[in-house]
Structure 1
Amino acid sequence: MSLDTVVEDIREEARARAEEITSEAEAEAEEIVAEAERDAEEIRNEREAEVASTIEQEREQRLSSAKLEAKQKRLEARRTVLGEVRDAAEEEIAGIDGDDREELTRELLVAATEEFDADDELAVHGHADDEDLIESLLDEEGLDGRFAGEYDCLGGVVVESEGSRIRVNNTFDSILEDVWEENLGEISDRLFEQ
């Protein structure tokens, strides 16, 4: 074997080894690139899922907030309407006059006096315009009492005893309040039938 042949064999071996190393390096590089691409795809998918989740959460929060705001506005509107109905009822009651007012006041006065002893001297308060009516009802019913002054109400009476600590509020207002509270659900249902 000649030196040229040995050199040529070494060169061939070196080329083969170089090609093998290059091939292995290219395969390794391709594997690294493929792994990097898989990692990048996985990261992109995770980020997309996070973004989609964030968007969904924000959408749900905004939707929930909008529903709450709408509910609050509906409740506010209902309160306003109920307030207007209550005001209209008060106006109707305040407008009761004549025989109807006399009969209602008589019933409220008699019912209030049943809470006191027969010998109690009664102080009766009422609407300023009802002073003469109350005094005449006290006389007609034979009750020991006097009109003791104005009471801020729509009508009716507030009766107190000079000797006891009892006070009976039989005003149109107190009766309206009781009826209103007892029937508020029904009133609301009728006004806002769905």
Structure 2
Amino acid sequence: MSLDTVAEDIRDEARARANDIREEGERRAEEIVADAEADAEEIIAEREREVERTIEREREQTLSSAKLEAKQQRLEARREMLQRVREQVESEIADIDGAKRENLTESLLEATVEEFGEDATVEVYGRADDEELLTELLADYPGYSYAGEYDCLGGLVAESDASRVRVNNTFDSVLESVWDDELKEISARLFDQDTPTP
């Protein structure tokens, strides 16, 4: 075998080996590129999912916040409406006059008298506009006297130093009691809710 043949065989073997290495390198490069593309697609998909979750979270937070704000506005509107109704009722109560006012005041005075013992000395306070009415009514009750003005819609406040008893039978106190007892029904009527069954 000649030296040229040996050299040619070595070159052929080197070329074959170089081809194998190049093919292996290309195959490996293709695998790396495919893996990188798959990883990139997974990263992109994960980022898209994160963005969608973030959007959904923000949408839910915005919706929740909007619902809460709407609820607060409804509650505030209801409070304002109830306050207006209360003021209107107070105004109408303050405007009661004549025999109706006299009868209501007399009923409250009778209930007040029951709270004090006989022979009690009781001072009675009332609305300035009701001084004459109260003075007339108190004339039938020995020991009871009109003592001055009390800021109220009507009715009376009575107190006795001897028994340390104070009775508030004003229209205001009656209204407060009725208002508290009937607030659910008042709200139901005002805001078209089902009236709760007692």
Amino acid corresponding to residue 177 of structure 2 in structure 1: D
- 1:179 and 2:160 correspond: no
Amino acid corresponding to residue 70 of structure 1 in structure 2: A
Q: Partners in 2 of 1:130 and 1:75 — Cα distance?
A: 38
Deviation at 1:4, TM superposition (A): 1.6
- The alignment's TM-score, normalised by the length of structure 1, stands at 0.97
Q: Partners in 1 of 2:128 and 2:147 — Cα distance?
A: 11
- 1:92 and 2:107 correspond: no
Give the match for residue 4 of structure 1: 4
Q: Matches of residues 66-85 of structure 1 in structure 2 within 5 Å?
A: 66-85=66-85
Deviation at 1:143, TM superposition (A): 3.5
Give the match for residue 143 of structure 1: 142
Deviation at 1:162, TM superposition (A): 2.9
Q: Matches of residues 17-32 of structure 1 in structure 2 within 5 Å?
A: 17-32=17-32
Contact 1:121/1:163 (CA < 8 Å) preserved in 2?
yes
Deviation at 1:8, TM superposition (A): 1.1
- 1:61 and 2:61 correspond: yes
Local SS of the residue matching 1:120: coil
Residues 35-66 of structure 1, C-alpha deviation per residue, up to 9 Å, x if partnerless?
11111111111111111111111111111000
- 1:49 and 2:75 correspond: no
Amino acid corresponding to residue 151 of structure 1 in structure 2: Y
- The alignment's TM-score, normalised by the length of structure 2, stands at 0.95
Q: Partners in 2 of 1:130 and 1:168 — Cα distance?
A: 18
| Higher relative contact order, structure no. (Cα contacts within 8 Å, ≥ 6 residues apart) | 1
Local SS of the residue matching 1:164: coil
User: Structure 1 stretches (4+) deviating beyond 4 angstroms?
Assistant: none
Amino acid corresponding to residue 64 of structure 2 in structure 1: S
Q: What runs of 5+ residues in structure 1 fail to find an aligned partner?
A: none
Q: Partners in 1 of 2:98 and 2:186 — Cα distance?
A: 28
Deviation at 1:144, TM superposition (A): 1.7
Contact 1:120/1:162 (CA < 8 Å) preserved in 2?
no
Q: What runs of 5+ residues in structure 2 fail to find an aligned partner?
A: 194-198
Give the match for residue 107 of structure 1: 107
Q: Partners in 1 of 2:64 and 2:142 — Cα distance?
A: 63
Residues 103-148 of structure 1, C-alpha deviation per residue, up to 9 Å, x if partnerless?
0000001101100011111100000011111111011x33321101
Deviation at 1:158, TM superposition (A): 0.3
State, as a whole percentage, how many aligned pairs show the same letter: 64
Give the match for residue 162 of structure 2: 163
Cα RMSD of the aligned pairs, angstroms, is 0.9
Q: Partners in 2 of 1:142 and 1:33 — Cα distance?
A: 108
Count matched residues.
193
Residues 142-182 of structure 1, C-alpha deviation per residue, up to 9 Å, x if partnerless?
33211011000000000111311110000000000000000
Q: Partners in 2 of 1:57 and 1:142 — Cα distance?
A: 73
Give the match for residue 188 of structure 2: 189
